[in-house]
């Protein structure tokens, strides 16, 4: 059984926008594929552009199906603006200390999001191992989570 991903309303809307963009890209790719077939023939071994377009098309179809599945099985969560500020929730900015099993440790700051995280924007999803570990906790919480078989210790230093 697959785990339901949790999304805020904004995260769910973002997921739907991503689906729309992928579907638009697939339609445009279909037009390009038709042009490649008309100009060079549709035999894959004779038409490199057609072959590459087919590969990209299969990838887009897979991504679209994944997004549709996420949308169909999504669990919407509500955020309560009156909730205690010290409790980690969607939208909280958190400073943590993380230590790997080899003893290497570092501090990091990120925002906890519903839906999917964005590493390049310092956003961590509540659906990730770290998000599941700290959601609902407060400053001073110490726990562990696992990523690819590696146990990582975490301590919450600050919640904003």
Q: Are residues 97 and 69 in the same domain?
A: no
- Tell me if 61 is assigned to some domain: yes
Residue 83 is encoded by which pair of tokens? 């909730």
How many domains does one find in the chain?
Answer: 2
pTM of the model: 0.61
pLDDT digits (tens, 9 = 90+) for 54-68: 889 999 999 999 989
Q: Are residues 10 and 72 in the same domain?
A: yes
pLDDT-derived band at 13 (thresholds 50, 70, 90) equals: confident
Mean pLDDT over 69-73 rounds to: 87
> Which segment of 19-33, 79-93, 100-114, 125-139 scores lowest on mean pLDDT?
79-93
Kindly report the number of other CB atoms within 10 A of residue 2's CB atom: 7
Nearest of 127, 130, 66 to residue 98 by alpha carbon: 130
- Sign of the CA dihedral with 47 first, then 48, 49, and 53 last: positive
- At residue 159, the 3 state secondary structure works out as strand
- Tell me if 82 is assigned to some domain: no
Give the per-residue pLDDT at 25.
93
Q: Are residues 100 and 142 in the same domain?
A: yes
């Amino acid at each position: 059984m697959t785990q339901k991903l949790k999304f805020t309303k904004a995260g769910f809307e973002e997921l739907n926008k991503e689906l729309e963009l992928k579907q638009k890209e697939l339609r445009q790719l279909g037009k390009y594929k038709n042009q490649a077939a008309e100009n060079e023939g549709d035999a894959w071994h004779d038409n490199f552009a057609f072959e590459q377009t087919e590969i990209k098309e299969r990838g887009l179809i897979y991504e679209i199906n994944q997004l549709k599945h996420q949308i169909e099985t999504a669990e919407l969560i509500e955020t309560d603006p009156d909730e205690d500020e010290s409790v980690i929730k969607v939208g909280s900015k958190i400073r943590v200390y993380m230590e790997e099993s080899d003893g290497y440790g570092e501090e990091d700051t990120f925002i906890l999001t519903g839906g999917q995280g964005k590493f390049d924007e310092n956003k961590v999803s509540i659906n990730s191992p770290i998000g599941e570990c700290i959601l609902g906790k407060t400053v001073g919480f110490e726990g562990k989570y696992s990523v690819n078989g590696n146990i990582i210790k975490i301590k919450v230093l600050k919640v904003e």
